[in-house]
Amino acid sequence: MKVYYEQDADLELIKSKKVAVIGYGSQGHAHALNMRDSGVPEVVVGLQPNSGSRKKAENEGLKVMTPAEATQWADVVMILIPDEKQSVLWANEIEPHIREGQHIMFGHGFNVHYNLIRPPEGVDVSLSAPKGPGHTLRDQYQRGFGLPGLVAIQQDATGTAKDVALSYSKAIGNTRAGVIETSFREETETDLFGEQTVLCGGIVELIKAGFETLVEAGYAPEMAYFECLHETKLIVDLIYEGGISNMNYSISNTAEYGEYRSGPRVVNSETKANMKKVLEDIQSGQFARDWVLENQAGAPSFAAMRNRMNTHMIEEVGEQLRGMMKWAQNDRLVDKSRN
């Protein structure tokens, strides 16, 4: 495994380029602002005229163009709009304006790996993917730190693709923590698997199931919220800091014994077998096909599932309790009025 750090990347390369960031969501705002603060002189944001993010970008002093205008203008084009919208935008506003020698970048390999986007020959195609949400990327950069990242090269038409991708990664702060070299396939499949089985799908369903089990047994929803959701951050912070052994060092012997005795009763061989099925769906492209079809139909199932989650009792109880914990609301990563 090859890992690159600050000394392995030349910031001057990306500073000599005109860079367009297409999108200004969680990742887009962080990439654009971090590059600006790293001294990249020519950074524009590509957004539709009716985008609600235009004012946010302009309020930060960033120049905004349409995606088509930004593509025509830029040397480096980083595409950071949601996966499900990329192929249509690519076909209509980006691909018609690509010229030989340009560098096309992605923050996630989904569309390229599953052949929803097929860049033409004659352009560089690379990946620069921070391993964390954009709001965290921005927060860590402002604190003088960085998130680990990934870099991958799909096409190297100019012979400089890797150097430019590393320079870009340095500008957004990833080389401060280390950038791992990978491939579009590996980044895409591991990212989807991690999100679905552990980081988002697994953790959320585990929290909900624990909360529901306690409430259904007659315990106060507030107690269930604290035990199954609120304290998750405290445990994860310890694991993040020094691994599972660091967490076990900090908790009580009673809690550690319960971990060994009861954890495997909840997450067991059947759970792992289901994880393997999830991975098979990702590797075969079945998940990607289902997600594309869902969006082509207007995303009715997705909207219904989102609504069920947003109206779950744990969200209602949590909103009330967080309102009582003003200290926990300081230094919020997400401010919807700005990012």
Q: How many residues does the chain have?
A: 339
| Cα dihedral sign, 315-319-320-321 | positive
Residue type at 212 in one-letter notation: E
Residues 52 and 24: beta-carbon distance below 8 Å: no
Residues 221 and 319: beta-carbon distance below 8 Å: no
Residues 275 and 264: beta-carbon distance below 8 Å: no
- The number of beta carbons lying within 10 Å of the beta carbon of residue 6 is 15
Give pLDDT, residue 337: 63
What is the C-alpha separation between 57 and 269, in angstroms, rounded? 48
Q: Give the single-character DSSP code of 95.
A: G
Q: Which residues are catalytic?
A: 108
Give pLDDT, residue 325: 78
Give pLDDT, residue 324: 82
Q: Which residues pair with 4 in a beta bridge?
A: 179
pTM: 0.91
| Cα dihedral sign, 221-224-228-233 | positive
Give pLDDT, residue 323: 85
From first to last of the 339 residues of the chain, give the pLDDT tens digit.
Answer: 899 999 999 999 999 999 999 999 999 999 999 999 999 999 999 999 999 999 999 999 999 999 999 999 999 999 999 999 999 999 999 999 999 999 999 999 999 999 999 999 999 999 999 999 999 999 999 999 999 999 999 999 999 999 999 999 999 999 999 999 999 999 999 999 999 999 999 999 999 999 999 999 999 999 999 999 999 999 999 999 999 999 999 999 999 999 999 999 999 999 999 999 999 999 999 999 999 999 999 999 999 999 999 999 999 999 999 888 766 666 666 666 665
Give pLDDT, residue 1: 86
* Half-sphere exposure at residue 98, Cβ-oriented, CA atoms within 13 angstroms: 24
* Helix H or strand E segment including 46: strand 43-46
SS (H, E, C) 241-309: HHHHHHHHHHCCHHHHHHHHHHHHHHCCHHHHHHHHHHHHHHHHCHHHHHHHHHHHCCCHHHHHHHHHH
Cα-based distances in Å from 309 to 29, 212, 227, 250, 262: 26, 13, 19, 32, 27
